[in-house]
Amino acid sequence: MRRKIVAGNWKMNMDLAQTESLIDELTRNMPETVADVMIAPTFTSLYRAFQLLRTHKIEVIGQNMHYEDNGAFTGEISAGMLKSVGVNTVILGHSERRAYFGETDEMLAKKVDTAMKHEMEIVFCFGEELEDRKSGNHFQVVESQLKNALFHFPESAWKNIILAYEPVWAIGTGETASPEQAQEMHKFIRETLAAAYSEELANGISILYGGSVKPGNAGEIFSKPDVDGGLIGGAALKAEDFIAIAKSF
């Protein structure tokens, strides 16, 4: 059985006190779930989050990192820094990083290399823009995002990769891909992986869906055979909603 995952991306939300309070609510109310649960607080809250969750099943993960190990990169965070505060998993390639901070497939290939070098797990995000879908190019776009950033890895490296298909038009917009659209793309991703690597790899990899997942739609999206969970933005900021989503399997 593939690993099921529900990951909350807090983005640039929640200061230290708010982080403590949300984690308190989550730890008090999160039941045992089929899914592994992860949260990605902002950098300044990571260490505190790690301390609070040290004995809890919820994993604290990073939202981003630089591809260099250290040096003159003002404002950036390295893999080693994340690891030093207990973080072993990092989100890379989020569409907001691509759109607002100029992250390209080439930069992301370097970031995933660095994460691999540090034996970190990667939640790799990708997905088409609205124009790509309207023009029918969405499959091609997704395939090239995956190929450019990840297909230089040997099959053995993929045990550290979790994929997160996030159509850009559905992120933070309230518009969700239909469960059928999500399933269609996730199946395509698996077929692409099977062609490039093997059926075994394709069938073993967890592929999350992200884009306006809420308690009201999570169950139906997660019930699709190729959807293994979700990367959750807005709804991860309310304990009640995030817990309801984590319980949706």
Choice from 108, 109, 205, 232 touching ligand PEP (CB under 6 A): 232
* Contacting range for ligand PEP; rule: CB under 6 A; set: 48-56, 77-85, 166-174, 196-204: 166-174
Tell me the closest approach of the beta carbon of residue 247 to ligand PEP, in angstroms.
17
Interface mask (CB under 6 A) for ligand PEP, residues 167-186, using x and -? ----xx--------------
Task: Compute the least distance from the CB of residue 9 to ligand PEP, in Å.
Answer: 5
- Chain center to CA of 106: 19
Residue 231 in contact with ligand PEP, rule: CB under 6 A: yes
Rounded CA gap, 63 and 90, in Å? 6
Q: Is 94 a catalytic residue?
A: yes
Check: CB of residue 106 under 8 Å from CB of residue 148: yes
Which of 64, 39, 60, 61 shows the shortest CA–CA distance to 51? 60
If binding is defined by CB under 6 A, does position 92 make contact with ligand PEP? no
- Report the alpha-carbon distance of residue 138 to residue 158 in Å, rounded: 23
Among 19, 63, 183, 212, binds ligand PEP (CB under 6 A): 212
H-helix or E-strand spanning residue 59: strand 59-60
> Half-sphere exposure of residue 90, counting CA atoms within 13 Å on the CB side?
28
How far is the C-alpha of 202 from the C-alpha of 187, rounded, in Å? 10
Least separation, in Å, of the C-beta of 13 and ligand PEP?
A: 10
Q: Is 118 a catalytic residue?
A: no
Catalytic residue among 66, 94, 138, 186: 94
Exactly one of 93, 127, 211, 229 binds ligand PEP (CB under 6 A); which one?
A: 211
Q: Which helix (H) or strand (E) holds 231?
A: strand 229-232
Q: At what angle do helices 239-246 and 16-29 cross, to 10 degrees?
A: 40
Choice from 92, 141, 182, 213 touching ligand PEP (CB under 6 A) = 213
Subset of 4-23 contacting ligand PEP (CB under 6 A): 9
Q: Which residues bind ligand PEP (CB under 6 A)?
A: 9, 166, 171-172, 210-213, 231-235
